[in-house]
Chains A and B, each alone.
Chain A
Amino acid sequence: MKIKIKDELKFSYILISPMVVLFILLGLIPIIYSIFISLLKWRINIPLPPKFIGLKNYFEAFNDIIFISSLFKTIYFVVIIVLGSIGLGLLFSILLNHKQIKAKMIFLAFSLIPWAIPRVSGGLMWKWIYDGNYGILNAILKQLNIIDSYKWWFMGSEWSALFLCAIVEIWRTSPFVGLMFYAGLQKIPEELYEAASIDGANNWQKFKFITIPQLNLIILAVSILVTTWALKTFDTVYVLTGGGPGYNTMITYMYVFHQAFKYLNIGYGSALAYIIVLIIIMTTTLYYKILIKNK
């Protein structure tokens, strides 16, 4: 028996070794190295050798106005995406879950297209729609007499520019969210709704007292996922605005990329990246706290 267990252990270690080696070589070593990098003044486009400066990069971040404002922009951006994706996903899944709606699989499959195409392609699609000279959004709004001349949408305030970027992210995230909710809805026993109908509940009451409590856990799990995705939005904003105009749509993740790979200031960039790690850990713990409280 002992030999068998030893055998099993050996077998399982052999099977997971490729992943473990990968994690160590390309995950653990880089992460330790990057802690070290974050303590250096290191610009790789300057021939000066890296200099150890302790925690100075981290302190500098809190005097960096662009970085601080990027944090607020990120919060705004993430909140819109989370609320928008969950709202639209919920609407889509509830509509689809109705017994008399046909061709559910077709709706589901086609709804996944925005999720499936590369973010860069999606970004270019929306950039063309938003375009200030020839965009179809301008054409439609002008036709409907909502605006009287073509507008450069991203040139307005930073909040409206970020909102436009967030719509693109909602466009690609909400189908996935909708699918998750749809799966959750199907697990809610039909009897609950029937009993409520007998008691004379209307649709809104059914939604509020049956659907939402039953979906609680999935809503939370999806919120965690969407929040981390939204925090790490890069491709879409890179294509739509590149963080501009000026620094208007410079969300934190984008700013880290700028520092590290545009200005090649990798010491400072690493320190900023760790602040994002901290934000992710904080938000995830917050969600888990809510989750445990709800259980």
Chain B
Amino acid sequence: MKVKKLEIKISYALLVLIMIFYLGPVFWIIITSVLPQELLTSVPLKVNFDQVTFDYYRRLFISYSFLMALKNSFVVTSITTILSIIIASFGAYVVTRFNFPGRNIFLFSGLSMQMGPAIVFLIPLFVILNKIKLIDTHIGLILVFLVFISPVAMWLLLGFFESVPKEIEEAAYIDGCNRFYTLIKIILPVVKPGIIAASIVVFISVWGDLLIPLIITIHKSTTLTVFSSSFSGIYEINYGGAAATSTLSALPTILLALFFRNYLIKGLIEGSIKG
């Protein structure tokens, strides 16, 4: 029995160590973001909470390029999330219900968009969007995000749609509902947990992506990730500013993940193991 107790203690100790590895960097950047420059650049390192400052944050919020990037990120991410969830749930519903010609090709193209390296698509998309004047616009950025993220959302949703019993639908038809009405009013509410999980995954992925906005935007539609990445020089970095930006851009996704943790965990398990 004593051995068992020791085993539990060791397990907890190891778990805590792993959690320190996972969360330590996050806490450290938050602490960094409120310490004055003198403390950050002191050797050996000193942390003194009497000198807490919100100067880096204040400077960010009066910076025009930060505010614009923040706004762009919110606009683009929200619109992409909503649109991709709508079209992906239509897709997932059809794929799980009907065996239409071209179904496998459809699934395969979704999978290739997901597995393939985005840069193969981004080089020609850059040229095309440039030609039709959609470079550096919200619309261009949203369209490109949509094509990459909607297959991911569909894959996450497939498991949820599959588990909806057919009887529910048939009962609705007998009551005289048409197909579209049945989908919206009967089926979507049943798969709501899946929709929430997929929305969070989409939001997190789009919000955090750097490569696509780095290529598709230049200046006026640029996002928070591009803005944050500009803090990264090779030798000299404004770490206070970088810490404040990192904290701010990580905050929405951390809150989402923690707030909807049950949906997220279930959704990831359902969607990934099936796919």
- The answer to whether B210 and A120 touch across the interface, beta carbons within 8 angstroms, is yes
Contacts of B6 in A (CB 8 A): none
CA–CA, A126 and B268, complex, Å: 26
Q: Does B104 have its Cβ within 8 Å of any Cβ on chain A?
A: no
Smallest CB–CB gap between B141 and chain A, Å? 12
Residue-wise interface mask of A (115-131) relative to B, using a CB-CB cutoff of 8 A (1 in contact, 0 not): 11111111111111101
CA–CA, A172 and B239, complex, Å: 21
Smallest CB–CB gap between B1 and chain A, Å? 12
Smallest CB–CB gap between A113 and chain B, Å? 6
Contacts of A29 in B (CB 8 A): 124, 128
Smallest CB–CB gap between B210 and chain A, Å? 4
Q: Does A211 have its Cβ within 8 Å of any Cβ on chain B?
A: no
State how many residues of chain A have any CB contact under 8 Å with chain B: 98
Q: Does B222 have its Cβ within 8 Å of any Cβ on chain A?
A: no
Q: Does A53 have its Cβ within 8 Å of any Cβ on chain B?
A: no
CA–CA, A29 and B23, complex, Å: 43
- The answer to whether B22 and A114 touch across the interface, beta carbons within 8 angstroms, is yes
Contacts of A257 in B (CB 8 A): 119, 211
Interchain pairs with CB closer than 8 A, number: 294
Contacts of B265 in A (CB 8 A): 105, 108-109, 112, 179
CA–CA, A127 and B87, complex, Å: 38
Interface-located stretch among B51-59, B189-197, B245-253: B245-253
CA–CA, A218 and B143, complex, Å: 33
Contacts of A117 in B (CB 8 A): 26, 208, 249-250, 253-254
Smallest CB–CB gap between A206 and chain B, Å? 13
- The answer to whether A133 and B43 touch across the interface, beta carbons within 8 angstroms, is yes
Q: Which of A34, A37, A139, A176 contacts B45 (CB 8 A)?
A: A139
Residue of A nearest to B242 (CB): A124
Contacts of A20 in B (CB 8 A): 106
* Given A30-B128, A125-B26, A116 and B256 contact (CB-CB distance below 8 Å): yes
Q: Chain A's interface: helix, strand, loop or mixed, by majority? A: helix
- The answer to whether B253 and A284 touch across the interface, beta carbons within 8 angstroms, is no
- The answer to whether A256 and B119 touch across the interface, beta carbons within 8 angstroms, is yes
Contacts of A175 in B (CB 8 A): 22
- The answer to whether A98 and B113 touch across the interface, beta carbons within 8 angstroms, is no
- The answer to whether A16 and B91 touch across the interface, beta carbons within 8 angstroms, is yes
* Given A120-B208, A120-B210, A242-B232, A12 and B119 contact (CB-CB distance below 8 Å): no
- The answer to whether B44 and A19 touch across the interface, beta carbons within 8 angstroms, is no
Q: Does B70 have its Cβ within 8 Å of any Cβ on chain A?
A: no
Q: Does A280 have its Cβ within 8 Å of any Cβ on chain B?
A: yes
Residue of B nearest to A126 (CB): B25
Residues of chain A having any CB pair with chain B under 8 Å: 8-9, 11-13, 15-16, 18-20, 22-23, 26-31, 33-34, 37, 44, 88, 91-92, 95-96, 98, 100-101, 105, 107-129, 131, 133-134, 136, 139, 142-143, 150, 171, 175-176, 179-180, 183-184, 218, 221, 225, 228, 231-232, 234-235, 238-242, 244-245, 253, 256-257, 260-261, 266, 269-270, 273-274, 276-277, 280, 284
Closest CB pairs A-B (n = 9): A118-B208, A109-B261, A117-B250, A121-B246, A30-B124, A116-B257, A26-B147, A15-B90, A235-B210
